[in-house]
Every structure is written in C-alpha cells, then in structure tokens.
Structure 1
Amino acid sequence: MSLDYDLVIIGNTPEAMYAASKAAKLKARVAWVVGDKQDDYYTEIDRYIFSYFTYLEQQWKTLTQGILNASLYPSYLNLSQIQTWTKQVKTNLNPQYSPETLAAMGVDVIFESGEFCRLPQQAFVLPSRKLRSRTYLVATGSVPTIPTIFGLSEVGYLTPETLTLETLSSDLIILAETPLGIELAQNLARIGKKISLLVPENQILPQEDPQIIQLLQAQLEADGIEIFTNSPITQVKQINDQKWVQAGNLAIEADDIILVMQQQPNIKDLNLEAVNVEITPQKIKVNQKLQTTNPQIYACGGVIGGYNVANIGQYEASIVVKNALFFPYFKVNYPHLPYAILTNPPVARIGLTQEQAKRRYGHNIIVVEDYFKTLPKAQILGETTGFFQVITRHNGEILGCHGLGREAEELIGAIALAMNHNLKIQNLAEVFPPSSSLFTILSQISHTWKTQKFEQNQFLTQGIETFLFWRRKWG
C-alpha cells in the first residue's frame, strides 16, 4: 500500500518548524500537524529580550550614578514597551518558519489536532482524514510540572507563561527548579521587584562548575535577591492579602508565587501508548538515533527531557530528518553542543566539566583559565566579573569549556566550532583578534596553554636555552 508522506511532524514548536523546513529542502513529502490552538511558550526570544533590557537598565545606572555621578537621571525602562518590542521581534522573525513560508515550500500544513491509531494500521488520525507516512516525528515540546503542595491550588500561583510585567506585584517568591528560574529572578530584581528565590537543591545550579556557582550567586545577592537553598515548598497559605510559604523551617511571605518547575512531555491525547511508544513522567524514551520504542516514530526537543533550549532541539531535529528520510545511522553527540543560561553576566558551557574530565581521563588533562578583568573591552564596559576555563588533554584536544562573563554565549560558539572540527587548543593561538574583542580571552588561554606545555618540556627548554647561549657566544 502506498504512503501519503515521507515524514509527518506533530507539534507547534521551533524544532517542529525547523524539521519541516529541513525535510522540505530535501524534497521530501512532509505534513506538519500544527494543532488547532496556538501554544503560548515562554521562548528564548522572551528570555533574551527581557535579559537584554534589564542589562541596559543596569548599565544606565552604572553610567549615570557611577561614572557621570548624576544620580538625578531617571530610569526609562518601560515594561509595556518591552512586551510590545518582544511581540514585534517575534513578528519579524516569524516569516522564516511561518506556516505560509513552509506551505510555499511544499509542506502540507494542517491546523488540526489528532492522535495515533492502533497497530497494525499505523497512522496519525485527524478529524478530517488519516495521515499515513513511513516515519513520524513527535515534537510537541513540554509543559511545566505543577507540584502537589498543600494549599497551592487554593492560593494560586504564576508561571513564566502567565505573568504580566505591568501588573506584577512587587514582592515575589520564585521556586526555581531550572536555570530559567534563576534568569527570571535576576531580571525581575533588576526592575525593582523584591525577590525571595527558593531552590530545592543545595546550590543554585548544581550541574555547573563551583566557581561559576560562587560568582553567579554573589551577583544575584548583589542584585538584592534573597536566596534560600535546600528549600522545597511544603505548604502555602493565604493570610489577609499575603501569601505565606512554608519552605523547610522557614515561613516566607509575598504578594505572589512564581513556579519555574521541571518540565514534562506535552503529549496529552496523542495516544502514543497504542503504538508501543514507551513514556515516563519526564520524557518519551528514545535511543541515540532519537527513535522511540516504535522505530518508525521519532521524538526530539522538550518531549525527550534534558535542556529545553532551541539550539539543542534544532540539532536533534536535524538528526531526526536525516534518519527518518534515509537510513537510521546518525546518532546525537551532545558533548559538542553548547548551551547558555541568560543571566547577567551569562553562563555558557560545552563538553565535559573539570570533574567529569578527571573521572574519564585521570591526570591526562590540562586546565587553563583566564579572567575578564584582563580584557580592555571588559574594563571599558565595566563588565569585569567572570572567567573562561578550557579543559584539554595533553595533546591539545579540547574536552570542554565553561565560563561566566559578558557575551559568554557568543564566545562558546568559537569553542564549539573548534571541537566539531577537531581543532586543538593550540590552534586558537594562531588567531590574534582585535584588542577591542572579548574573543581575546580565548586567545590568551590558548597562549597560556602553549606556555605551560613549553615549560613542562625540559628537554626542549634546555635545548633552546643552550642554542641561544652559543649563538650569542659566536656573535
């Protein structure tokens, strides 16, 4: 029996749009099931714009009060205009992957919701028709997990998707289970909100390098955020007009509670169990080729857990398209993928941390770091907080890199490029960037690495010293 499509994509997410575009460019017959309602995701565009404007607000304060000594200059941060600008940016970016653009590329765009039908007639069933394809991609994203806390549903709460800046109260409790909660807490603090940040773990970003955690926590506290670690919420009450939260042995009051929780797959009513797709509460199970337990059905992005960020979702989508349209050969390689946390200053990481590298390679590693305070541009901008650290093997192979500092999310791209093309740390020493560039920090790290290697090679250093001595002697 002939099939209607090469690939049917389910989901209204950035990774779904990217997969549809990539498959269409390969001349595949593609159906994109958008759904019958618009998903209101708090996207990286929202995060980046909010972070950028609060950064500008902080720079304005530094300029007027610290440098110009003109404390009478007012702040001009308009929250309503931020949201208007965010909508405009999304509108400007939308045509690249809009339904109209993809339809013009030959993608069958369908504004209906449906479900998988049972084996052996595997298909995706819509109210109006049945879609039969050789392969399917589930890219429906994820939704917040709302914890079961006594009194929470009666008192009420906000999430990043539901809060409105103009009407947001001034005294807030944020329960942060993900890096997004750290970002949001800092941005709200910088527009004048009083923030109590509750973190269930014993530190704010337990997966990051201890030096990053220490520097970032100091910055958050300098921004006026009160941080409570090891503080999961156990009870919520409303007393008069205030909301009271019991977190461990602490009782904290605020006007509103914002939950930034771990995500769960957005797969309601897809009937995946009927087609033998295994699901856990946190994710759809996939192999390294991103196939589910039904090899004809793939999944990527937020539905498979991990960091729910656009670049990783699009990378996964590119792997799926190649495997789904041709042969399931390509595997994901996450260590070569960078990611960033959009705090001020931002955090960025790729590959192994120092501890992970030690466990895998023992003493066969070299760790080199440098600080933003050594850079001319950082001094000029007043952005001297931060560092970059590169972990390598003794032959120069880059195992990982992480850092905190201005434009860290841009700098990590250079390391990602080097790792993906098997360039070694010493290759970066061949680049002499303009002194006005923050890339100088990576060049300095590379030169430091070469100096360390040279000084450790006693045979070479003594040989050069002897050669130069006799050269001087002979005139």
Structure 2
Amino acid sequence: MSLDYDLVIIGNSLEASYAAVKAAKLRARVALVLGETETNTYTEIDRSTFNCLTYLDKKGQNLTQWELNYDFVTHLNSSQIQTWITQVKQDIKEYYSPAILADLGIDIIGESGEFCRLPALGFVIKNRTLRSRNYLLAMGSISSIPKIEGLSELGYLTLETLDLENLPYDLIILSQTPIGIELAQSLNHLGKKVTLVVEDSNILPQEDAEAVQLIQAQLEAEGIKLLVNCPITQVRKIEDKKWIQAGNEALETDEIILITKPTPNIKGLNLEGVKVEVQPQQIIVNDKLQTTNPKIYACGSIIGGYSLSNLAKYEANIVIKNAIFYSIFQVNYHPLPFHIFTHPILSRVGLTETQARQSYGDDIIIIKQNYKTLAKAQILDETTGFCKIITRRNGIILGGHIIGNNSDELINFIALSIKNNIKIQQFSQLFPSYYTISEILFQISENWQYQKLQENKFLNNWLETLLFWRRRWKL
C-alpha cells in the first residue's frame, strides 16, 4: 500500500505550524490537521505580552512617583491590555496562516479525526484515511481540574477562561506551575489584591535556590500574600464570598483562578487504540521523541516540562530529522535556555548548583555577580538581581542563572557558549560596551580568573618574586 505523506502533523499550535514549514522546506510531503475548532489556550504569546505591558505600566507609575513629569506616562487598563494581546497574537499567527502554509505545498485539513490501527496505521478524517510514514502530535495542552470539595459547584477561572476586563478586585490564584507566579505579579501590577497559594513547599522546585528566594521576597515586597505548602481541601460560598480552606488557613476571595499542571489536549484521537501510552500530565516519549508507538512522535507541552516555544521548536526539529530521514537523533536539553516571566525575569541554562555538585563534586567553581554593579541597572533603577555562572575548574561552563533586567536576552549568550564549549575565561576578551547588561559577564570572567589566581600559590609566589626583582633592578 502506497503512502500519501512523509509526515502528518496533528495540532493547531505554533510548534505544529513550525514543524510543518520545516518539513516542507526539506521537500517532504506534509499534511497539517488543524481540527474543526481552534483550541483556546493561554500561550507564551499571552504570557510575554501581558508581562511586558504590566511591567511598562509599573515603570510608568514609578516615573509618576518620581515626579519626572513625563507627558507620555498613562496607566493601562485591562481592556487595553486584552485588546493589545489579541492583536499581537493575530499578527504573529499571520506568519503561519493557512494561505502561507498552503503556498509551501502543505495540505491544510480543517477537520478533526482519529487514529486507526487496521488494516494499517492511519489517521481517519470523515471518509478519508491519511497514510503516512510517520505522525507528529503537537496539539498543545489544556488546564486540568483538581478534585477539590465544592470547587465545581462554586465555579472558578482557568487560563482558558480568564477575562481581564471582568476580573474582580480580590483574587486567589491556586498555582502548580510558574505561570501562576507570573500571573500573580502581573495582576498585582494592575492593582488587584492577589493571594498566591502553592501546594508545594517550593514555588519553583526546579530552579536555583538563591533565585527562588529572591523571587519569593519580591512577591511579598510587592504586597502579594504568598502561602506555600498549602494543599486546598475545600471550597465554600458564604454570604456572596468564596472561601477556601488552604492548609490551616481559611481565605476569603471574590474569585478563584486555577493554574494547574496542564494535561495533553488529546480527546477523541484514539491514542489507546494505536498503543500510545498517556499519563495524566504527559504523553510518554523516548529520547528520540517517539511515543510508545514508534511511528507516532510528540513534541511541545504535551510531553511535560515547561510550556516554552523555544523548547517546542527544538523538539520539532529533532522530530523532523527523525521522522523524515532516520530515527537516530536524540534530544539534549542541557544547552537550551529558558526563562520565566517574573519581575525581574528569571532565566536559566544548564545545571543548577545542586545538580553540578551532584555530578562533579568539588570540581566546580561558582561565580556570582550582583546587578547593582552595573551602570545600566543603576540608571534604570533595576538593581534587583544577579548572574551566577557554574563552571568546572578548567573553565567549562555547566550552567548559568540570571535574574534581572534583560536576563532573557543575556542567557542566550551563555547557552551558545555551552553549546560550543566556550570557556568562561574567554568572556574577559570581549570588553562589552558601557551601559549594557552584558558587562556582567565580563565582570564574572575576571572574578573567575582572580579566584583561580588566588588558589595557585606557586603562581602567586612567582609573580611576587618577579615583580620584586624587576623593581630592584629597574627592569
């Protein structure tokens, strides 16, 4: 039986469109199954746009407080933010519009379907079956709803149903992911009273401990009530108010927002019928991003981890090479940067300090430089933050953690250095321009070399002796 396609991609996400374009440019015959309705998900576009606008609004308020009399300083409202986010999403989606994809030779299918196993693996859409060498699942995830007494009867909001224009003043965010922290800060900057409830004992268990402490302190300094290690056991309504039992505390609020761990949006695909194993929060894949059915791949948020577009695109690249050519390429997340849209932004690449010590013991050097040493940070009054670089004793970079202004841009340089085995010593050869955040890498490199010099007693003695005799004999 002949095949119709080299790859059939199922999903209406940015990573699905990106994968389709990538495969088509490699001359593969591709079908993109979008489904009949667009999934309403809270994407990274929403997060980054909301973060940026509320950040600018907060800075505008600061300028007003400083009485600098900037005529352009005006405060945003929820309606303006919602309109701007919608417009940004529409503009970005234009790059992957059906017309542009069709011009590349991609078959766009706006219908839903399901997998079938017999007489051969295929994807059935009404009266048609799409036969392909391989398939890619890239449909994204949706919020999962926890089982809490009284929750379904009382009502709540999720990322998919969040309406900024109609949000009340007093809000409780029940968070299981970093998005909850981002949302809490952004809503707080819009003047909402926010209580952030985290079930775990750590608000960001996968991140650097010092960075987490700084973010937690920042949340509390901004007036956000933070409750950690507080499982939610009950939700009730008393006199037109919603009450939540969080650990030993009873909390009153106008509205509840659930930010839970996402679950794959796979309803109706018949994955169990084609032997694809699915757990509550993810589709199981191997290092080549194959599911338990080797002809079906998956990428993006549906395979777990942070919901970040650069990770999803990286995974899509691996899938395309494996699915179209030969399945020999494996994922390696170590040199991939990512960030969390907190204020200030937290960015990370590679190993944390704990992971580095577990893997390399005493064969590591950790250099930390605070943002307050930077002229640009002082001028912008954004001195909160630091950059921490973790290296081996020979200078090979194991990880980088930055929390502060422009950290989301700066982390890419460290990621490229890890990818290309550039050692920390080489940063001191850059001499970056004044009034740039990248000065902090130059400072870290020089501090690293000074620390190495201090540890080398032989070299210190040799330098001291050399300079003594040069002074003595005027050499």
Q: Which amino acid aligns with 1:320?
A: V
Alpha-carbon deviations, 1:277-325, whole Å to 9, x = none? 1121221111100011111111111111111111111110000000000
Counterpart contact for 2:16–2:139, Cα < 8 Å: yes
Task: State the match for 1:386 in structure 2.
Answer: 385
How many Å apart are 1:222 and its aligned residue? Answer: 1.6
Identify the residue that residue 51 of structure 1 maps to in structure 2.
Answer: 51
Distance 2:41 2:21 in 1: 20
Distance in 1 (alpha carbons) for counterparts of 2:352 and 2:450: 23
Q: How far apart are the structure 2 equivalents of 1:81 and 1:468?
A: 66
In 1, the alpha carbon distance for the partners of 2:96 and 2:466 equals 63
Deviation at 1:95, TM superposition (A): 2.4
Question: Judging changes above 3 Å, is the alpha-carbon distance between structure 1 residues 222 and 70 closer, same or farther for their aligned structure 2 residues?
Answer: farther
Task: Name the TM-score, length of structure 2 as normaliser.
Answer: 0.97
- Counterpart Cα distance in 2 of 1:8 and 1:82: 36
1:13-32 correspondence to structure 2 within 5 Å: 13-32=13-32
Q: What residue in structure 2 maps to residue 2 of structure 1?
A: 2
1:437 is matched with: 436
Report the equivalent of 2:130. 131
Given that 1:370 and 1:441 are in contact with CA atoms closer than 8 Å, whether structure 2 keeps it comes out as yes
1:318-369 Cα deviation digits (max 9, x unpaired): 0000000001111100111111110110111111111110011000000001
SS of residue matched to 2:334: helix
The residue identity in structure 2 corresponding to 1:194 is K
State how many pairs are aligned.
474
Residue type of the alignment partner of 1:31: A
Contact 1:174 1:260 in 2 (8 A): yes
Give the structure 2 partner of residue 167 of structure 1: 166
Moved more, 313-322 or 44-53: 44-53
Q: Give CA-to-partner distance per residue, 1:392-424, whole Å, 9 cap, x none.
A: 001111111112111111111111111111111
Structure 1 residue aligned with 2:394? 395
Q: For 2:420 and 2:101, how far apart are their aligned partners in 1?
A: 31
1:442-461 aligned within 5 A: 442-461=441-460
Q: Give the Cα separation in 1 of the matches to 2:49 and 2:72.
A: 23
Whether 1:415 and 2:414 are equivalent positions in the alignment is yes
TM superposition shift of 1:124: 0.5
Distance 1:74 1:7 in 2: 51
Q: State the Cα RMSD in Å.
A: 1.6
Contact 1:64 1:73 in 2 (8 A): no
Cα distance, 1:451 vs structure 2: 1.3
1:149-160 equivalent positions in 2, closer than 5 A:
149-160=148-159
**SS of alignment partner, residue 336 of structure 1:** coil
1:98 deviation in Å? Answer: 1.9
In the other structure, the counterpart of 1:94 is 93
Task: Return the alpha-carbon distance in structure 1 between the equivalents of residues 453 and 221 of structure 2.
Answer: 41
SS in 2 for 1:454: helix
Aligned equivalents of 1:440 and 1:97: distance in 2? 37
Match of 2:36 in 1: 36
Instruction: Name the residue aligned to 2:62.
Output: 62
Moved more, 348-357 or 206-215: 206-215
Contact 2:175 2:258 in 1 (8 A): yes
Hey, which bits of structure 1, 4+ residues long, moved more than 3 A?
Answer: 69-75
Greater Cα shift, 95-104 or 169-178: 95-104
Q: CA deviation at 1:74?
A: 8.0
Q: Distance in 1 between matches of 2:69 and 2:195?
A: 30
Q: How does 1:73-112 map to 2 (within 5 A)?
A: 75-112=74-111
The answer to whether the 8 Å contact 1:34/1:113 transfers is yes
- Which ranges in structure 2 are unaligned for 5 or more consecutive residues? none
Distance 1:278 1:93 in 2: 33
Output the CA distance in 2 between the equivalents of 1:120 and 1:303: 28
Could you tell me which amino acid in structure 2 is paired with residue 245 of structure 1?
I
TM-score normalised by structure 1 residue count = 0.97
The offset of 1:174, in angstroms, is: 0.4
Distance 1:72 1:170 in 2: 28
Q: CA shift at 1:459, angstroms?
A: 2.0
Counterpart of 1:340?
339
- Name whichever of 410-419 and 463-472 sits farther off: 463-472
Moved more, 354-363 or 442-451: 442-451
Distance 2:127 2:233 in 1: 47
Letter in 2 for 1:17: S
How far off is 1:121 after superposition?
0.9
Q: Secondary structure at the match of 2:278?
A: coil
What is the rounded CA distance, in whole Å, between the counterparts of 1:442 and 1:62 in structure 2? Answer: 29
Distance in 2 between the 1:356 and 1:277 partners?
32
Give me the whole-angstrom Cα distance separating, in 1, the residues matched to 2:230 and 2:336: 32
1:62-103 deviation line (CA, Å, top 9, x unaligned) = 2221x3277999852122121211122222222222221111
Please list the CA deviations of residues 260-288 of structure 1 after superposition, one character each: whole Å capped at 9, or x if unmatched.
Answer: 00011111111111111112122111110
- State the Cα distance separating 1:458 from its structure 2 match: 2.0
Deviation at 1:241, TM superposition (A): 1.3
Q: For residues 408 and 433 of structure 2, what CA distance do their matches in structure 1 show? A: 19
Q: How far is the alpha carbon of 1:51 from its aligned partner?
A: 1.0
The answer for the alignment partner of 2:321 in structure 1 is 322
How many Å apart are 1:47 and its aligned residue? Answer: 1.0
How big is each residue's C-alpha offset from its partner over 1:223-266, in whole Å with a ceiling of 9 and x where there is no partner?
11001111121111111211011111111010000000001111
Query: What is the DSSP-based 3-state SS (H/G/I as helix, E as strand, rest coil) of the residue aligned with 1:157?
Result: coil
Please tell me whether the aligned partners of residues 387 and 405 of structure 1 are also in contact (alpha carbons under 8 angstroms). Answer: yes
**Aligned mates of 2:72, 2:451 — CA distance in 1:** 49
Q: Is the 8 A contact 1:119 1:275 kept in 2?
A: no
Q: Percent identity?
A: 57
In structure 1, the residue corresponding to 2:243 is in which secondary structure?
A: strand
Task: Give deviations 1:163-189, integer Å, cap 9, x for gaps.
Answer: 111111000010010000000001001
Q: How far is 1:191 from its partner? A: 0.6
Which one is further off, 402-411 or 353-362? 402-411
List alignment gaps of at least 5 residues for structure 1: none
